[in-house]
Structure 1
Amino acid sequence: MNKWFGLLLLSAAVGALPLAGMAQSTASTLPNTASSKRVVYYDQTIYNGSSSQASNYVSLSPLWDVANINPNTQKPYVTDVIVGAFHLGAQSDGTSLHLNDNPPSDAIFNVLWKDVGTLQGKGVNVLAMLGGAAQGSYASLFDQNGNLTTYYDTLKQALQTYGLNGIDLDIEESVSLANIETLITQLRKDFGSDFIITFAPVAAALQGDTDPFSGFNYLDLYNDQSANISWFNVQFYSGFGSLSSSTDYSSIVKAGFPANKVVAGMLSNSNNGSGFVSITTVKKTVTSLLKTYPDFGGVDAWEYYNANPGGTAKPALWGTTFGQLMNP
């Protein structure tokens, strides 16, 4: 997700994934199916510290704390959590899928998958983010003829094993439009109409220009695959757009993308990248966008663990703040 390259260097690599520890999607509450005004968190800093000790785990439990439950729906204000970053590719250790620096089956993620299951049980969708700044996942997915490789089977198995509701395709490497459409078609075939498929382009890529990272045109993609794309988690930061005003968002709608499929992505903390805009300013921008677009797509935060205004002490406050703003 991050376009700034001072973050963790994430390796790409899991072999067979065990069913133990799997986050079952047998939710007691139906998933949140909001078609607009979504509240989305990216959860990449799963452990906030130099080691994966229990004391460093960034719990998702505040998201379902009573203070962060919408009294009108009795569900958390957050609608979606995107766990990342997943990376595909052959590694020297013989594995082929990693979540950040470890296979998703690693014991350090047991508590994460438990939290994922609890969130789903409370009506929150949980997606896997594939790709990001560490390149190679999308190159691994396709052979020279544009056919899906066995790495797709690894990805498919992981999505099934951990009972995830969807996938966020964060493409920051060169890939053809045809190959991405092949991937979308296969995902829809394998997981059905309820499976969520989102993308995470920079704002500039939806304003009529070719995406500077993937090399394809997102409007062409949307025109071909509109029925299969759930929404776009658009990055309005790192010099590719801003939420300091409504201008960049409105230009995307004018380019041909419906407002209900454009989620405004922000840095939730100035430490998370370049182009940070204060939460106070973004609230004013979102208020303006809500007046212009009643079906405003919503907001997303990069990322959860230190999200303002609560910071590391109360990261769920960001979601409640924007949830209340959009759904008073």
Structure 2
Amino acid sequence: MPPTPTSYLPHDQGPRLIIYAQTFHSPTGEYHSLLPLLTSNSGLTHLIIAAIHLNSDPSALTLNDHPPSDPRFSTLWTETQWLQGAGVKVLGMLGGAAKGSYERLSGPTSQFEAYYAPLHAMILAHKLDGLDLDVEEETSLSTITRLISRLRTDFGPSFIITMAPVATALIPDPRVQPAAPRPTLASSPPGPNPLHPSLPHLSGFSYAELEASAWGKEVAWYNAQFYCGWGDAGSTQWYEAIVSSGGWDPQRVVLGVVTNPANGAGHVGVEKLAEVCRALRARYRDGEEDRFGGVMGWEWFNTGMGTDEDMCHVLDIVPDVDVVAAGWVSVLGRVLRNRLPPVAAQQSKSGAGGGFGGYTAEQIRQMVLPKQQEQQRNITQTQGGNGQTDTSSTTTTTDRDTKWPEETVASLVSLGFDRRSAIAALDATDGNVDLAAGFLFD
């Protein structure tokens, strides 16, 4: 008798299981089909097609190196419709390691419209369910909020907008004393502190500030990259630090990993990864409600085929799978997508809006230092589209070191605030004195 197929939760319930796909053909031109994700009953909830680039010619939008309408992608777009028909949401990814897309959207209205128009047309033409904003270049928060606002206006409330920061972007910098958090309603959970700088990352703006704004509510979740020296998915420590010390809601943070050592530094074997996912799912549950955001893997075509250990574990757990890549997803699907019995409500470790919660500043330093060293060792390594090749970071300041004019800082100090809080507020508001004062008075 054949084995009974695994029964999963509905796609819109439980932790997410996400795969990015960027490499669609082998060097000899063979197409890497996505259909095994369906035929293997993998439990996939979301597929993200990468990477969309806005090039110098506004009309020359490309999916990797070719127009999305190129015949080479005809099978891809047919298969994405099959996935959507089975309930999987299909998103596009804008940006990645190739810089320039967000810079081109940062200009005056006429420039923004010129570059946005082909992106809008592509989303419509290929019936994408959402867009993942992978910002790996120095970008202003106003550029991101303008894009989010336009996407929401044009595509409505069901359109999924996600972001893909590196994990350090969600952890407060322990070198800077926490500033007082903005107040929150008693009925709302504490969130990340917009006045506290994060650890260095790639995007140039504050994700905590975005999350605290009206436009943060339009971001469905964050596909955080725990690899290439920017994080570690080999234990629960980094994820728990984001929730506990950063103040992030675990439902809004997805654990991002590389699915093959060739896709970037920091690969975690699937057996170990399944253990981490099982622990995080158990840790972040409240009765019948799953609060763990889920897992994303970069990327599809060579998933699970980088080590003998991964392939053996996949075939041990899913012996009848035809494609190892789909088996890798299925291994995680059986951990994340099955229905679990209710449990008693658990005590949250979430910090109160950007303090260090359950982690001390020294613990964060010790956690981050090895990853920073790894990131420096691998910084010149060519990564996949979602991998990192840039070391740009947010600016952190001390009492003696600030990029803001002294008279600007003094104007806030004269209102009765200490200098460190004044500098943190200016950092969080890109130097807007009125907005910084409003944060501090709140």
Category of TM-score, reference length = shorter chain: 0.7 to 0.9
Provide TM-score, normalisation by structure 2. 0.61
CA offset at residue 34 of structure 1?
2.1
Q: Mapping of 1:79-94 within 5 angstroms?
A: 79-91=45-57
- Percent identical: 39
State whether residues 37 and 299 of structure 1, in contact with CA within 8 Å, keep that contact through their aligned partners in structure 2. Answer: yes
The amino acid that maps onto 2:264 is G
Q: Which residue of 2 aligns with 1:43?
A: 21
State whether residues 205 and 218 of structure 1, in contact with CA within 8 Å, keep that contact through their aligned partners in structure 2. Answer: yes
CA offset at residue 253 of structure 1?
1.1
Correspondence 1:301 to 2:294 = no
User: Using a 3 Å threshold, how does the CA distance of structure 1 residues 147 and 251 change in structure 2: closer, same or farther?
Assistant: farther
User: Using a 3 Å threshold, how does the CA distance of structure 1 residues 146 and 263 change in structure 2: closer, same or farther?
Assistant: farther
Q: Mapping of 1:250-261 within 5 angstroms?
A: 250-254=240-244, 255-261=246-252
Correspondence 1:119 to 2:110 = no
The amino acid that maps onto 1:77 is G
Correspondence 1:61 to 2:71 = no
SS in 2 for 1:120: helix
Within 2, Cα distance between the matches of 1:149 and 1:162?
20
Hey, which of these two has a bigger chunk of strand by percent?
1
State whether residues 211 and 217 of structure 1, in contact with CA within 8 Å, keep that contact through their aligned partners in structure 2. Answer: no
State whether residues 14 and 336 of structure 2, in contact with CA within 8 Å, keep that contact through their aligned partners in structure 1. Answer: no
Q: Which residue of 2 aligns with 1:155?
A: 119
Bigger mean CA deviation after superposition, 249-258 or 38-47 = 249-258
SS in 2 for 1:41: strand
Correspondence 1:234 to 2:224 = yes
Within 1, Cα distance between the matches of 2:294 and 2:277?
8
2:170 to 206, 225, 236: 206
Within 2, Cα distance between the matches of 1:220 and 1:147?
26
Q: Which residue of 2 aligns with 1:320?
A: 330
RMSD value, Cα? 1.9
State whether residues 35 and 297 of structure 1, in contact with CA within 8 Å, keep that contact through their aligned partners in structure 2. Answer: no
Gaps of 5+ in 2: 1-9, 173-197, 286-290, 305-309, 315-321, 339-442
Within 2, Cα distance between the matches of 1:95 and 1:145?
16
User: Using a 3 Å threshold, how does the CA distance of structure 1 residues 221 and 211 change in structure 2: closer, same or farther?
Assistant: farther
State whether residues 132 and 170 of structure 1, in contact with CA within 8 Å, keep that contact through their aligned partners in structure 2. Answer: yes
SS in 2 for 1:282: helix
Q: Deviations over 1:234-262 (max 9, x none)?
A: 10000010011111001111212111111
Bigger mean CA deviation after superposition, 113-122 or 145-154 = 145-154
SS in 2 for 1:57: coil
Q: Deviations over 1:67-101 (max 9, x none)?
A: x32xxxxxx5100000010100224xx84200011
Bigger mean CA deviation after superposition, 116-125 or 211-220 = 211-220
Within 2, Cα distance between the matches of 1:146 and 1:324?
49
Within 2, Cα distance between the matches of 1:58 and 1:323?
21
Within 2, Cα distance between the matches of 1:118 and 1:106?
19
Within 2, Cα distance between the matches of 1:182 and 1:147?
13
Within 1, Cα distance between the matches of 2:234 and 2:146?
36
State whether residues 146 and 179 of structure 1, in contact with CA within 8 Å, keep that contact through their aligned partners in structure 2. Answer: no
Number of residue pairs matched by the alignment: 283
The amino acid that maps onto 1:319 is V
The amino acid that maps onto 2:37 is L
State whether residues 171 and 213 of structure 1, in contact with CA within 8 Å, keep that contact through their aligned partners in structure 2. Answer: yes
SS in 2 for 1:149: helix
SS in 2 for 1:226: helix
State whether residues 211 and 218 of structure 1, in contact with CA within 8 Å, keep that contact through their aligned partners in structure 2. Answer: no
Q: Which residue of 1 aligns with 2:272?
A: 281
Q: Deviations over 1:29-68 (max 9, x none)?
A: xxx652541110000011122x5x3xx1000010110xx3
CA offset at residue 147 of structure 1?
7.1
The amino acid that maps onto 1:220 is E
State whether residues 96 and 151 of structure 1, in contact with CA within 8 Å, keep that contact through their aligned partners in structure 2. Answer: no
Gaps of 5+ in 1: 1-31, 70-75
Q: Which residue of 1 aligns with 2:437?
A: none
Within 2, Cα distance between the matches of 1:112 and 1:190?
25
Bigger mean CA deviation after superposition, 313-322 or 117-126 = 313-322
Correspondence 1:102 to 2:112 = no
User: Using a 3 Å threshold, how does the CA distance of structure 1 residues 323 and 146 change in structure 2: closer, same or farther?
Assistant: farther
**Largest Rg, 1 or 2:** 2
